[in-house]
Chain A
Amino acid sequence: MRGRAAPTFLDELRTNRIFYEMTTAAVPAVSTEPDIHERLNSIWETPKTLWGWFATVDHKQVGIRYLATAFLFLLIGGVEALLLRIQLAAPDQGVLSPEAYNQIFSLHGITMIFWYAAPILSGFGNYLVPLMLGARDMAFPRLNAFSYWVFLFSGLFLYGSLFLLQAPHAGWFAYVPLTNNRFSPGFNMDFFALSLILFTISQTAGAINFIVTILRLRAPGMALHRMPLFMYSTGTTAVLSLLSMPALLVACIFLELDRQWGTHFFDVARGGDTLLWQQAFWFFGHPWVYIIFLPATGMISMLLPVFARRPIVGYTYVAVATMLTGLVGMGVWVHHMFAVGMGQMAMSFFSAASMTISVFSAVQVFAWIGTLWSGRPVLKTPLLFALGFIASFAIGGLNGVVTAVVPFDWQVHDTYFVVSHLHYVLIGANVFPVFAGFYYWLPKMTGRMLGERLGAWSFWLMFIGFNVAFFPMQMLGLLGMRRRVYTYEAGSGWTGLNQLATAGAFLLAVGILLSIINLFQSRRRGEPAGPDPWRADSLEWSTGSPPEHYAFAHIPTVASRHPLWDDHDEEADPRGERALDQGRLTLATSWLDGRPAAYSRMPEDTATPFVLALLLSSFCIALLLKSLWMAGALLLGSLATLAIWLWPKMEKAREKIGEVVVDGLRLGWDERRGTGGMVLLIVSEALLFVVLFFAYYYLGAGAPRWPLDEPPKLPLALTMLAVLLASSAVLHWGERGLRHGRRGRARGAVLAAILLGADFLVLQALEYRDHLKSLLPTSDAYGSIFYTITSFHAAHLVFGVLALVFVLLLPRLEPLERPPHRPLHNAALYWHFVDFVWIFIVGLLYVAPHLKGKG
């Protein structure tokens, strides 16, 4: 419980002063600075050993690994692009066979879209978000390390396909039926689907981490209206990831089930629908475009004002435009499907939304231009790349607006015009900002400046090369050249423009190469950067370059949007209260005002994220090989590793630390962080079920009658519903009892919920036994979707049972002993969610068909 000692934080309100204009300089410091640095270093430093390398959970290490790995994928994808351009440099070339060309262009697209464009921004986010917020790490450091390892292994898994010469070969959006067994019998598309399933796990984990970090770990005083704009873009992106990833996950699971296990989601002859893939993929796919450029716009909004030497124009407008871009970006997916033959009324909303979204992008562009216009710009390399971004993004945005017009879209659909558009957007709005970010923040990460001269050369070569490569493609598209053709005839009239594009691609590559040389030169003989070489305004520049392991000796306080430009001393902490040197601690604050709310204990280094990621990746290999015993063993291993991960080792530390006093507030252990993570996980899982329900509806809408077979029996489903509702009620009753100290009741309730859950699973097994006599998952599309939805739910329930068993087994029933019993509360939240989903399943799969029958 929070108690208050004078002077309290809220007392500041009385004087109407801005937060944290500290007036306590006369209070003597409790310990000397060298002591604090030494102590914090010993607490936060990861041992420089092999174990330390695998076990580190330091966000700076994880961020740099993300950056390095994603950049490597950029180079690999770039080499693939050059191979494609060599093939297309002249008509009737035979450098690549048609199949090799298919695999290379598919790998190029998949690598750039998934394994470079978003992860590189995750790298910046991982490194910068805690530093900009004034925190010492991300909200869930182990989850952070886990998301990196899964990302790495998913990429290795994808490229493993090359060793078998069976890389994905159906483009990055892998339309069915081209990707079903009949037209793609090898492992190619299995590698695609399974690696993306792993990738979605990584992205979802990262998204949860970013959201909780931004809402919970901001420096005291950093209210929503003082957050760096990078937080708005990264936060919006994280929300988009959380909401859109389930659609990709479901699409890939359907594809893999169809390919490997004989279901019929996309098999038209058995009631499936090929457009279901497109709906699910693009529901994910278009938000993904914003996921891979919004953080980049946030980076520009951070660095451009620094070089314009003034605060950004229209902070609130830019923040709102960023959020609205994300929101409207969720409602434009159908514009990728204008050519599939929908009615114009159905398309009109998506056309309007697609055009609306350009308004929000324009707001940001005008804010950047206004900032430059009214500032005193200093033309350093990061600003050059930022300007290149604005120019390219404007062109990409404008030719995006015209493709939102349905008739025009039909004309240029699947031509090089679209290739040009997407590269203008993706290179313009991702690669240029990323390079701007490298030149701007690498001095912070490495402690050394990059060369300005080489940087300028790199920029101009990249900018000119990029335009020479991709502008001619607009004309090629208008001249009728289809995308993905592996060659063309000499008389087509496309040769000159293709040669120009190839020359541009090589120029672009040389520009990138110069920046790599610049990086290596800087590492060897770059000028020392110092803490703030650009005289920037955000908190990361108040740390050393590179930052110390603990980042901030004292958790900073913030009194404006530009902490380093105002005259407030962020780290002034005369009583030493914000040093938080009793362990790996950082401060948790309220989401709206940034008031100190609790202290967060960060976990020690551990190799469990690495092991879990390895086991899950191996699980995918087992699925690829259709080895069920191996998959089962690896799944059990994963669950055991997860239990080790979640086992509460920090209870002793919590007892030892007790309460801490910060700025007159007595702060307790941060209990809400875990609950926040659980709520977000539930949101993601809920979306997964929404997509499954949508698939059920969508397949039914296209069928002459639905269900295709006998509807399932209602009485058993209602009995199962009663069992689940009873389990939820009893768990809730136990939790309430615990609040009044009735531990026996709580234990009994958890046990009863477990038994009721097991009872439900037995009933479901009985239902399956009965139902399987007439309907198999492989019978038709209805059987496929029925068993998929119900078995997904059963799997969630099994996980819920395991979570409750875990809670019961915790040492000395710790969570049942100590208020507010968060592990039990979190497990109960998940349980209620799973029960709640069953209500919808009963309504949709069991009740509705009977009502329809009567009607």
Chain B
Amino acid sequence: MNDPGSVRARLGTLASPRRLAFAVIAPPLAWAAQGLLGWYFAARACRTGGPGWGPLSSGGVRLLLLTVSVAAFAVTVAALAAARRDMRRLAQKTPGTPLGESAGYLATVGVLIGTALAIGIFWAGLPALLVDVCGEMR
């Protein structure tokens, strides 16, 4: 327990670096993927003026966009859950240790980023439900 190596090992079981990295990095990547793919699919489907893309009809494209949004949302929620679990474990088990402080801080950052971007992804996913793929407002 007192050996520095064992402190690191114990910390690893409470919050593995990979899980922490996933918690912090996955939500931004999911958000960016949703935006870029959504933009690409919508632009591609409407390029020829008609609301379709190859075998996909307008409804198909909307379903594709929704799928992308749901996948991005799921990844973000998973990252958020991982961050929250790490944060709670670290707060209970390693109060005051420097490495625990750093890892706990990263877990908190993961929770905040995950929460913000889960809302962002939900928000940006709504238009696929509500508006026409190639609709113009004027």
Contacts and interface: CB of A to CB of B under 8 A. Distances in A.
Interface of A: 8, 10-14, 16-19, 223-225, 316-317, 319-320, 323-324, 327-328, 330-331, 334, 341-346, 348-350, 352-353, 355-356, 359-360, 406-407, 410, 592-593, 701
Interface centre among B127, B134, B138 (most CB of A within 10 A): B127
A417 B107 CA distance: 42
Nearest to B131: A344
Interface centre among A320, A334, A701 (most CB of B within 10 A): A320
B109 A319 contact: yes
20 contacts: A11-B4, A13-B4, A223-B102, A316-B105, A316-B112, A320-B116, A324-B113, A327-B31, A344-B136, A345-B128, A345-B131, A346-B46, A348-B126, A348-B127, A352-B123, A355-B123, A356-B119, A410-B138, A593-B102, A701-B44
Q: 5 closest pairs, A vs B, by CB?
A: A225-B105, A348-B127, A10-B4, A345-B42, A320-B112
Nearest to B124: A352
B28 A345 contact: no
Contact of B127 (A19, A331, A345): A345
Given A16-B96, A343-B134, A353 B102 contact: no
Interface in B103-138: 105-106, 108-109, 112-113, 116-117, 119-120, 123-124, 126-128, 131-138
A13 B136 contact: no
Size range of the interface on B?
Answer: 35 or more
A13 B7 contact: yes
Contacts of B133: 343, 345
A334 B65 CA distance: 19
Nearest to B98: A19
B39 A349 contact: yes
Contacts, number: 120
Contacts of B124: 348-349, 352-353
A344 B98 contact: no
B106 A224 contact: yes
B42 A360 contact: no
Nearest to A328: B120
B33 to A, nearest CB: 11
Contact of B102 (A8, A17, A592): A592
A14 B4 contact: yes
B136 A320 contact: no
A353 B2 CA distance: 48
B97 A16 contact: yes
B32 interface: yes
Contacts of A359: 116
B46 A327 contact: no
Nearest to B20: A592
B135 A344 contact: yes
B101 A223 contact: yes
Contact of B120 (A225, A317, A356, A406): A356
Nearest to A593: B102
Contacts of B3: 14
A345 B134 contact: yes
Interface of B: 2-4, 7, 28, 31-32, 34-35, 38-39, 42-44, 46-47, 65, 96-99, 101-102, 105-106, 108-109, 112-113, 116-117, 119-120, 123-124, 126-128, 131-138
Contact of A346 (B31, B43, B108, B120): B43
A410 to B, nearest CB: 8
Given A344-B136, A360-B116, 13 more contacts: A13-B7, A331-B31, A343-B42, A343-B135, A345-B133, A346-B42, A352-B126, A353-B35, A355-B123, A356-B120, A593-B98, A593-B102, A701-B47
Contacts of A323: 109, 113
Nearest to A348: B127
A14 B2 CA distance: 5
A345 B65 contact: yes
Given A320-B112, A701-B43, A349 B38 contact: yes
B123 to A, nearest CB: 5
Interface centre among B3, B38, B96, B124 (most CB of A within 10 A): B124
B87 to A, nearest CB: 11
B99 to A, nearest CB: 7
B127 A324 contact: no
A404 to B, nearest CB: 12
- The main secondary structure of chain A at its interface with chain B is helix
Contacts of A410: 138
A316 B107 CA distance: 11
Contacts of B128: 345
Nearest to A592: B102
B102 A225 contact: yes
Contacts of B123: 352, 355-356
Given A345-B127, A345-B128, A348-B127, A12 B32 contact: no
A809 B136 CA distance: 62
A224 B103 CA distance: 10
A13 B97 contact: yes
Contacts of B131: 344-345, 348
Contact of A223 (B34, B98, B132, B135): B98
B70 to A, nearest CB: 15
Contacts of B46: 343, 345-346
A344 B131 CA distance: 8
Contacts of B116: 320, 324, 356, 359-360
Contacts of B109: 316, 319-320, 323
A12 B32 CA distance: 41
A10 B116 CA distance: 35
Contacts of B7: 13-14
Given A344-B127, A346-B39, A349-B39, A13 B99 contact: yes
Contacts of B39: 334, 346, 349
B137 A344 contact: yes
B35 A12 contact: no
A375 B95 CA distance: 27
Contact of B135 (A18, A331, A345): A345
A329 to B, nearest CB: 12
Nearest to B1: A14
Nearest to B17: A592
Contacts of A320: 109, 112-113, 116
Contacts of A19: 98
Contacts of B2: 14
B43 to A, nearest CB: 5
A334 B35 CA distance: 11
Nearest to A19: B98
Contacts of A701: 43-44, 47
A642 B117 CA distance: 43
B53 to A, nearest CB: 12
Contacts of B31: 327-328, 331
A331 B132 contact: no
Contacts of B108: 316
A324 B120 CA distance: 11
Contacts of A316: 105, 108-109, 112
A691 to B, nearest CB: 14
Contacts of B127: 344-345, 348-349, 352
A34 to B, nearest CB: 35
A775 to B, nearest CB: 25
A397 B138 CA distance: 27
A319 B42 CA distance: 34
Nearest to B127: A348
Nearest to B11: A13
A225 B97 contact: no
A426 B34 CA distance: 30
B35 A317 contact: no
Contacts of B28: 327
Nearest to B47: A701
A4 B110 CA distance: 34
A331 B32 contact: yes
A224 B137 contact: no
Nearest to B133: A345
A223 B98 CA distance: 8
Nearest to A332: B35
A337 to B, nearest CB: 12
